Amino acid sequence: MRYLLKRCGHQELGSMGLSIGPQRGQYLLMAIKPEVLSFFPPLSETRQNDFRLVAFYPVYTHDKVYCRFVYHNDKFHGSTAAHPRNEYRLYLNRELQGGRLMYQENGIVVLRMVDETNYDNGLYIDYANPSDPMYAVYDACLNANRLKGSGNYAVYDGVIKEFEDAVAKVVKAEQTVKVAKDDVKYIANSKTDISQLFTEKQFRDFVSVAYQHKCAITGTVIAYEDMNNLETAHIRPKSHGGPFLPCNGMTLCRDFHWAFDHGFLALTDDFHVMVSKKAPSPLLLPYDKKPIFMPEEPFFQPKLEYIQYHRKNIFEHFAQIRSSSK
């Protein structure tokens, strides 16, 4: 197994004071070294301030938390600043820190990829402050495996037993997906093209968060531990060119997902349910003309373009969705 260990600095944690919180947003600076960047999805030098979403599994919260990994590359895009940036940052949020500001100067972060062959599966993460019992273990490992020229970073090939014991508990635990509002706003306001930002797995996670892990039509869910009856529906089908964007998705109970995909129901432009009069179903009719649950964040709300496409090309066609040449 391969681990990345990093000691946290004062500036990157927002210049934390003794009696006040951070003065700026918190992040972890990642050294421009192949050994370090190999833990994260590749970013483009030609795309200004390119970024990706990375899933983290904190062993101290047992949640699944998304953070932004950003390549600030103004140096290559005509910046007139005295010191144009050329750096990789992993932006922290409170969700990653268990709802509080737990990361401190000189604390040590430890990362391990869930699957070294697939960035999309994310990373396990642990953290220890100097006063924590695990700090001595991580500090010794970091000091023994420092990267040349980067004293605050280490890559270790082997097994950190205490870390793996904590990971084993995460694997067995019921996980809640969490997305920070600040990250949603950053994505929504980004000047970077986000049409290819979300993977299929990230699409499902973000849509589930948007609809609060319930069916958008019934407002219900049948759940037990890590099982539930929800599915993520594309409004404009993927096979018809629909993107993996949260505004093109809804969480639906399995029966309603099937009915939506086969044209038994649709949405109006004011986000109400339309049940087909050609094939009325006793299961669907009670929801006719009722509003769906609307996500709080505008970025998550269904886009009219996709709703209208579904009404024109899927509603009352009563057919298996197939690819479209349109």
Mean pLDDT per 10-residue run, the chain (326 residues)?
A: 96 66 77 96 93 96 94 91 92 91 93 93 96 96 95 96 94 87 94 90 96 97 91 97 97 97 97 94 96 96 98 93 60
153: closest CA among 142, 163, 144, 141?
Answer: 142
Residue 299 has φ and ψ, to the nearest 5°, of -60, -30
CA dihedral 201, 269, 254, 122 (to 10 degrees): 10
Question: Which residue, chain included where needed, has tokens 């062959």?
Answer: 117
- Cα-based distances in Å from 129 to 28, 61, 163: 15, 16, 15
Q: In the chain, what are the domains?
A: 2-183 (2.40.330.30), 198-313 (no CATH)
pLDDT of residue 82: 87
- Cα-based distances in Å from 118 to 31, 60, 105, 136, 262: 21, 23, 31, 31, 33
